[in-house]
Amino acid sequence: MAERYFTAAEVEALIPRLTRVMERVMSAHIEAGAARDRLQAEQQRIAVAGGAVLDRGAWRAEKAGIERLTGEIQRGLEEIAKLGGAPKDLGLGLVDFLHLRGGQEVNLCWKYGEHEIRHWHGLDEGYAARKPL
């Protein structure tokens, strides 16, 4: 049995805070991915050229940016966990909350941008299997 089960109303009360946190997390996730892509493209450029001069300052700054963004993501995920949610997909902004439905443990499913909790899915199911409450 879980420590806590949430009602739809309890999760809905958290939506303003979840929205603020998920905005930061999703933005940092996108930025970090773009920075990683830039570093990978630079590595490929150097490999194809058979070696090249690397702007070490820019490389270090990009790496430091990724570390900062990763920290921001981690802090946001920890904040969501403290609220009782389980982040599932940073691209979509999905967070699940444990719920008791008909005596069975299921997840209430919130997606970034939603203002109400209207969906749930089984513990072994995901977003694609959402069902209306």
Q: What is the pLDDT of residue 76?
A: 97
41, pLDDT greater than 90: no
- What is the rounded distance in angstroms from the CA atom of residue 121 to the CA atom of residue 4? 17
Q: What is the pLDDT of residue 18?
A: 97
Instruction: Tell me what the pLDDT averaged over the chain comes to.
Output: 91
Q: Residue written as tokens 């209306």? A: 132
| Closest C-alpha among 14, 4, 69, 3 to residue 36 | 69
Could you give the angle at the alpha carbon of 40 between the alpha carbons of 35 and 44, nearest 5°? 150
Contact 123, 101 (CB under 8 A): no
| Closest C-alpha among 70, 130, 95, 128 to residue 19 | 95
Pick the residue with more confidence: 93 or 42?
93
